[in-house]
Structure 1
Amino acid sequence: MTATQWDHEVDVLVIGAGAGGMAAAITAQIEGSSVLVLEKTDRIGGATAVSGGAVWAPLNSQSARVGHPDTFEKVWTYMQNTVGNAAPEDMQRAYLNACAEAVEFLDKHSEVKLAARAYSPDYHPDREGAALGGRSMDPLMFDGRLLGKHFRELRDPLPEFMVLGGMMITMTDANHLLAAMRTFASWKASMKLVLRFFSDRLRGYHRGTRLVLGNALAARLFKTLLDRRIDYWLNASLKSLVTSDGQVTGAQIERAGRVVRIRAKRGVVVATGGFAWSEKLRKQLYPEPTGPWSMFPKTNVGEGIDIACAAGATIGTDHVSPAFWAPVSILERADGTQVRYPHLVWDRAKPGLMAVNAAGRRFVNESSSYHEFVLGMYRSHQTVPTVPAFLVCDSPFMERWGLGLALPGGRPREHLIRAGYLYRADTLDGLAAQLGIDAKGLADSVDRFNRYAEANEDLEFGKGSTAYNRYLGDPGQKPNACLGPLRQGPFYAVKVYAGDIGTACGIRCNEHAQALDASGQPIPGLYAAGNDMQSVMGGEYPAPGITLGPALTFGRIAGRHAAHRSSDSR
């Protein structure tokens, strides 16, 4: 393709406007390159905007200040005890050597502001090298009003992360709202939230502008694009990469119904969000059974990976799991649409909830991480049907904590029962009959579970046995924050499926985020970031934030390397 055939020209072209893509764009522009960001939807933020927003960045400068001084040797030991050989050692080292610097770079040059958690255990706190805090960071709350007219271009969060039809809340906010009628401090905090939300709605905003979690991170990155006048195109879909003499020199995209050819003089960064909604790649790479159970945006269909592979890139094979898992319950609406609820951190660890398979038997520590919970589902499914599995609780639990989309505190839930999402019965036998599971097995499991609750020790699966378990339990429940009886009807249950919160399998890259060909050599001009890149965690899940941490880090690495690459270099 000759230069006269190009419709547009930039130094660095970024495909995808999630955390990885925006971090690459911001870095490349700061390093002196002209940049264009392409987003195939009509919203900025990608999966980042609907995520929990945690960023795992070991060795960050705030760790010691929040009481958890860290060392490379300690975190490397933890990586070896969790990730091990599931990902190349050089990529793991590259991440640990660069993630703290990426956080500092973004803090200095962008609106991205993160705060280290004073207490947030790694997901395997019993393994050597684990930390109880400091490594995971959260984006600071962001005022969406600062985006001005562009606020509507930011992807909305999941409805499950909002209350009152548009008010975002964190776990701390949720606890205040639940305790608003019990303590003055919670009432005051709740009133502040609600008044801010109604003020936003009265001013014409389509939802609350107090942004938290991943929506705040996406907004902060977006605000930086706007402030730095980095060009972005919405509704612009990647169709193919253009190559010349073994190099990627640009891309063909579709915008407003026509093909546009864009020259990228220094590089193309592919960051389209992975393949969670690609039926082809799910069947090829996921274990069975699988289905359309992902919490990722439905537009994440893997075209970035497919198109990069067509240009010579290869998919990684050294992972232990192709995705990052989460149990997901699904509400089928009367109009045929679905609502998916990820059971991440709210209900499973609380005292009084039990998970069972079709035999009515427990199969996993309910307080383990969402990823480990689904791995437990798949292990159990090899001998007993466990996909779907069932989360079971009693009436006091329901009123105190709720269960998935069924909210606590006496809130309406009959519509969920009629829709077949929530199951309710006066007796355990009646509940087993509704679920189609073994009644004797369920009764025996409940009896064992209650005896463990009385003894404050789960002898079968260790619910509440680690710092991470107890972190998500009920702090008022002593001595085991995760164990409580399941005795008082009516009894409730929801089905949960082997859902995911993103893919771990993607384009093989080197430490510069350059895509690698079949011989392991970098493809000049082609980079990957975010979920399009083979995970540096290899499909393991060591701690909260292990997707966004690498997305920001390798996005920064890709942007920097591309910005300093000449168009004729290899």
Structure 2
Amino acid sequence: MSATLSRRQVLAGAATLGTGLVAGPAALGTPARAAAVAYDVVVVGCGAAGMTAALRVAALGLRVVVVEKAPTFGGSAARSGAGIWIPNNQVILAAGVPDTPARAASYLSAVVGGDVPTAKQRAFLDNGPPMISFVMAKSPLRFRYMDGYSDYYPELPGGIARGRSIEPDLFDGKLLGAELANLNPAYLPTPDGLSVFSADYKWLNLSLVNARGTAVAAECVARYTAAVLAGKTPLTMGQALAGALRAGLAAAGVPVWLNTPLTGLQQDATGRVTGVVVTRAGVETVITATRGVLVAAGGFERNLAMRLTYQRQPIGVDWTVGARENTGDGIRAGLGAGAATDFLDDSWWGPAIPLPGEPYFCLAERTLPGSLIVNSAGKRFVNEAAPYSDVVHVMYDKNGVVPDIPSWLIFDQNYRNRYLFRDVAPALPFPDAWYSSGAVVKDLTLGGLATRIGVPAAALAATVARFNGFAWTGRDTDFHRGDSAYDHYYTDPAVVPNSCLAPLLLPPFYACKLVPGDLGTKGGLRTDPRARVVRADGSVIPGLYAAGNSSAAVMGHSYAGAGSTIGPAMTFGYIAAGEMAGDLT
């Protein structure tokens, strides 16, 4: 498929019709429209951004409805670990984190560079802390500090090695009543009998070789047991985030229409967005929005035509862990309304193992000591412990010279005996399906492993030997693995002199295929510091707002810390709500 054809397919429905409707993702042959309904604000998308916005709109006294394409609420946020990166929020300040507005501004500027206007960065930093305080006041959502989860570039000016990220505290799913059945399931379900926070995974990986890991595992069991004995349905991570926000909407009386995809935006003769057209129960329905429309419908990670048009190859829709309904509906509708876009070539990348059924987004496994990553030449090409987005950027940047896609995560039996891998306990065999799919390969010798994955045996042997030398000395002079405080988060403190370097010595040896996975796309509609969607000339499209992965990320092409997706999504949803409440034009 050529890029030209792909773009035409993507934008096929984006022409302005004579009725004032800007067609979006749906085909033009739709059922007859029902009588229009009216609200002050329409929010498209029931993820973290959309629910935060709707919660604030309702608190400001306006009538708001949330429309959601999926049969579930929560979107990709509900599937996630739900880390939230918000500098200077009340949770981290109470924990004694030495953050200041100036320090945060310095750090974000150093991370993002000139890709995002300073005013937009400032809007995020100024509104993030009050947003956290607001959702705590207006919903049952509570937070925990992820102590020790470093900013991703703590050595940059303003960086904090202790970290700025927070995550949801335990939430009782019973507060949702029957609506609990509509919560989008987690990407990786928590094991039965455990209540696990994101910050616990660092230690659960080490539960057989580290006393604190064992203690944390016991805490997870005790936490679950106490909650169940108290009559609760304990939810954590993305399930807690989405569930608590949805409970807040229910308490505020905000209607949420599931199974209601966006068909297009409605504009008047001046170009102002005055509402949306959705399909509800098979009937095309016009919803008038007197104050504005917020597009918070996620990215386009599940839209092959858009990925082929805008992103580097190889790419597809099978390596993402984003919600299945994220096909760029809101972005395409915004394009039809004349919106500009930014960062469509980029995603919230991370190396993924293409396991049968669903890819596995690889975090700790590539950082724990005793593993390394090689390309098709059998050579290392990146600091394996670097921020996951950076690793994939390097995979793409170097792929034209020596193919780095797919790459291979190599480790030995000693590594396998010590650490949790995905949800497979140490020393236990991997599922047969992993091997039969080609995602995992095993051999008694490095030479045999090299042959089976198609890399030069001599090169792989030399790479492992050199890496083993770095492990003995504790210094990776090739790619500086372990030089950053961030590199040591998912590592083994018992390993010295460098907690993320250990030799590969004990057969058999394993290789896991790595491809460019992602949590979702990060490019979308261009917005100003007030979350208003703008055209290429900088003029505002009146009545149209965007947040979350439907908008161009405030992080630009980078990633400040754990939760740099959800934190800004909620913040710009919060900003958009305030703008619409004050929009009297």
Fold similarity call, TM over 0.5: yes
Q: Could you tell me which residue of structure 1 aligns to residue 179 of structure 2?
A: 150
Shift of 1:471: 1.7
Any idea what SS the aligned residue of 2:359 has? strand
Counterpart amino acid of residue 307 in structure 1: A
Q: How does 1:296-311 map to 2 (within 5 A)?
A: 296-311=322-337
The residue correspondences of 1:112-511 to structure 2 (distance < 5 A) are 112-133=141-162, 135-158=164-187, 160-164=188-192, 170-172=198-200, 175-176=203-204, 179=207, 185=215, 188-192=218-222, 195=225, 209-245=233-269, 246-292=271-317, 293-316=319-342, 319=343, 322-332=346-356, 338-344=357-363, 346-404=364-422, 406-511=424-529
Alpha-carbon contact 1:320-1:539 (below 8 Å) kept: no
Shift of 1:40: 0.7
Give the aligned partner of residue 540 of structure 2.
Answer: 522
Q: 2:99 aligns with which of 56, 70, 75?
A: 70
Measure how far apart 1:170 and its partner are.
Answer: 3.6
Query: CA shift at 1:138, angstroms?
Result: 1.0
- 3-state SS of paired residue (2:288): strand
Three-state SS of the structure 2 residue aligned to 1:138 is: strand
* 1:110 aligned partner: 139
| Deviates further, 101-110 or 351-360 | 101-110
Stretch moving more, 23-32 or 418-427: 418-427
Provide the C-alpha distance between the structure 1 equivalents of 2:246 and 2:109, rounded to a whole number of angstroms: 35
Aligned equivalents of 1:536, 1:186: Cα separation in 2: 35
Name the SS of the counterpart of 1:325 in structure 2.
Answer: strand
* 1:169 CA drift (Å): 5.6
TM-fit CA distance, 1:171:
4.8
Q: CA deviation at 1:252?
A: 0.9
Q: TM-score, length-normalised on structure 1?
A: 0.91
Which consecutive residues of structure 1, in runs of 5 or more, have no partner in the other structure? 333-337
TM-score, normalized by length of structure 2? 0.89
Count of residues in Structure 1 that have an aligned counterpart in Structure 2: 551
Distance in 2 (CA, whole Å) between partners of 1:330 and 1:103 is 35
1:218 Cα deviation from its structure 2 partner:
0.9
- Aligned-residue CA RMSD (Å): 2.4
Judged with a 3 Å threshold, the aligned counterparts in structure 2 of structure 1 residues 406 and 384 are, in CA distance, closer, same or farther, namely: farther
Compare 31-40 and 173-182 and name the one that shifted more: 173-182
Please report how far the alpha carbon of residue 224 of structure 1 lies from its aligned counterpart in structure 2 after TM superposition.
0.5
User: Judging changes above 3 Å, is the alpha-carbon distance between structure 1 residues 135 and 169 closer, same or farther for their aligned structure 2 residues?
Assistant: closer
The one-letter code matched in structure 2 to 1:11 is: D
1:320 to partner: Cα distance = 9.5
Q: 1: distance between equivalents of 2:337 and 2:194?
A: 42
Task: Tell me if structure 2 keeps the 8 A contact 1:67–1:134.
Answer: no
Distance 1:188 1:515 in 2: 48
Aligned partner of residue 248 in structure 2, secondary structure = helix
C-alpha distance 134-467 of structure 1, shift in aligned 2 (>3 A)? closer
Give unmatched runs, 5+ long, in structure 2.
1-18, 21-32
Match of 2:559 in 1: 541
Question: Structure 1 residues 177, 356: CA separation in 2 closer, same or farther (over 3 Å shift)?
Answer: closer
SS of the residue corresponding to residue 137 of structure 1 reads strand
Of 162-171 and 264-273, the range deviating more from structure 2:
162-171
375-384 or 166-175, which deviates more: 166-175
* CA pair 381-417 structure 1, distance change in 2 beyond 3 A: same
1:486-541 residue CA offsets vs partner (Å, 9 max, x unmatched) = 01100011101011112221101111111112321111111111100111111211
Distance change in 2, residues 1:191/1:62 (3 Å):
closer
2:88 aligns with 59
Which residue identity is paired with 1:343?
C
Aligned-residue offset at 1:479: 3.0
Q: Residue in 2 aligned with 1:335?
A: none
